Structure 1
Amino acid sequence: MEAGDLWVEERQSKILSLLKRDRRVEADQLAHDFKVSRETIRRDLKIMEERGLIRRTHGGALMNEQSKESPFEQRRVSRIAEKRALCQAAVSMMVPGGSYFIDAGSTTTILGEFMADLGEMSIVTNSIELAMTVRKINPAIDVVLLGGSIGTDVPATYGEMTLRQLRNFHADIALVSPVGIDPGVGVSYYDLAEAELAGQMLENARQKLVIADASKLGVVSRAIVSECKEIDVLVTDESETSAYTEAGLRRVIHAAA
């Protein structure tokens, strides 16, 4: 084996180690770190994808695996500043007299904190915590908490009873926060019950809004609920989002923590 070939394998091995640690890598940063051209990194990533080791994304790569979620109690205390900024930006889309679906998650739970000054409106949610927060902070908001079985991890309702009730409602906007959103694959969840409910919310809403911080962009989990071209608004703190609008997503709101 030539020395050059050995260096290529060593570089790709180090790239794989970085992916295992950070979940995603950027081609420009890799080129800088390894002191090679961006085209060299692109060739490395192409070879690694062909071997089934990774999945290339716009400007970088991800591990070739279905992304699972960490426990809810762990997620709710991570990236708090980023989530608050995202929620504040998302609430700016809500107007008095409107009707809204909101799914349950560590990000959407925070939405209630920014609803104190909103006028009368209607919210349908499966999130127990969000329903209680909104009811306490702004009694003018009509809150419908969907019934059903309470989840073992997330404090929310799921199941056929929940879906049956949800199908009876229509909303102006559905606000969902998935495990990931990828330009080529779309919006995805790991938990199948969460995916089914979010998919129904998106289907029954006039506009579809996804809240996703930078760590969720380019991430693919096992249950796909929507393509990017079906999403009206993406609220994120990631600055580079051109791949999403190119995939058909209509509008991106950039939120800064």
Structure 2
Amino acid sequence: MTLAERHQIILSKLQKDQYINVVDLCKELNVSSVTIRKDLKLLEEKNLLYRTHGGATVNNPYTVDRPVNEKEQIMSAEKNNIGLQAAALLQENDSIVIASGTTVQAFARNIPQNLNITVITAALNVALELVRNPGIEVMQLGGLLRKSSSSVTGIYAENVLRDFFCTKLFLGVDGIDLEYGLTTTNSMEAHLNRQMISCSQKTIVLADSTKFGKRGFGKICGLEEIDQIITDKGIPDTVLQHLERSGVKVTLV
């Protein structure tokens, strides 16, 4: 097989699956990992793909911080459907944590009016959605306000969380990478999210399909630390299969 033929196969697989793995390519093309990594480097130099740890993707995997009003406009219908599905998981007298993000805001908006629950949240926009719901007791965490996410971070919020244990955490993220795990664009927010995970019995990630294959600056946790992901049907089949093999329950809406 010529170099050009090998590159054509790599690009065809990438176009189909959105992500390719070095190990799988070695087996299929019967070449060494050194050869495949050289191929991926050449293709990246031609702006035909982005290399990641252990493979490559067709999409730019690095996320950037965006204002919350801009993020609200992205995949809004899908976020609302994800929020509806997440709200169906709530039970009477639940004590839950809601992190930050526009997808968890959609979840807060869809919580039934007649449900009595307690919510701890870092996000101002989430708290404003919940204050109109008479059945919900809201505990707003304090700390340094991130204007781009309308949420707080820092040691004050983390210290408060150490005094509680909740049934569920509903977590929004900026990126889900199959090898690197869950990330956000802010390291302080990532640290607060880790504290939220440690004080919750179950971690449920709410993320639309554009978040998969992305990687932010701050790592929250690995895939092994989450229980469920609720997302839309836009995620590639290969990603879905990998998540299910990793023991993560995936709900598609």
Shift of residue 112, structure 1, vs aligned partner? 2.0
Does structure 1 residue 246 correspond to structure 2 residue 207? no
Of 124, 129, 134, the residue aligned with 2:125 is 129
Shift of residue 190, structure 1, vs aligned partner? 1.6
User: What is aligned with 1:227?
Assistant: 222
CA RMSD of aligned residues (A): 3.3
Shift of residue 27, structure 1, vs aligned partner? 3.4
Of 100, 106, 123, the residue aligned with 2:102 is 106
User: Is contact 1:146-1:162 (8 Å) kept?
Assistant: yes
User: What is aligned with 1:27?
Assistant: 16
Name the stretch that deviates more: 64-73 or 185-194: 64-73
Distance 1:186 1:173 in 2: 20
Secondary structure of 2:189's match?
helix
Does structure 1 residue 83 correspond to structure 2 residue 79? yes
Shift of residue 202, structure 1, vs aligned partner? 0.9
Q: Deviations over 1:74-102 (max 9, x none)?
A: 11111100100111111111111111101
Shift of residue 210, structure 1, vs aligned partner? 0.7
User: What is aligned with 2:206?
Assistant: 211
- Amino acid corresponding to residue 252 of structure 1 in structure 2: V
5+ residue gaps, structure 1, are 16-24, 31-38
Shift of residue 64, structure 1, vs aligned partner? 6.9
Distance 2:107 2:59 in 1: 31
Identity %: 21
Using a 3 Å threshold, how does the CA distance of structure 1 residues 156 and 117 change in structure 2: closer, same or farther? same
User: What is aligned with 2:134?
Assistant: 139
Using a 3 Å threshold, how does the CA distance of structure 1 residues 88 and 165 change in structure 2: closer, same or farther? same
- Corresponding pairs, count: 233
Distance 2:228 2:40 in 1: 30
User: What is aligned with 1:70?
Assistant: 66
- Structure 2-normalised TM-score? 0.79
Of 193, 198, 210, the residue aligned with 1:198 is 193
Distance 1:80 1:148 in 2: 28
Distance 2:158 2:15 in 1: 39
Secondary structure of 1:107's match?
helix
User: Is contact 2:176-2:215 (8 Å) kept?
Assistant: yes
Secondary structure of 1:206's match?
strand
Shift of residue 248, structure 1, vs aligned partner? 3.0
User: Is contact 2:65-2:148 (8 Å) kept?
Assistant: no
Q: Deviations over 1:84-133 (max 9, x none)?
A: 01111111111111111011111111112211334111100011111111
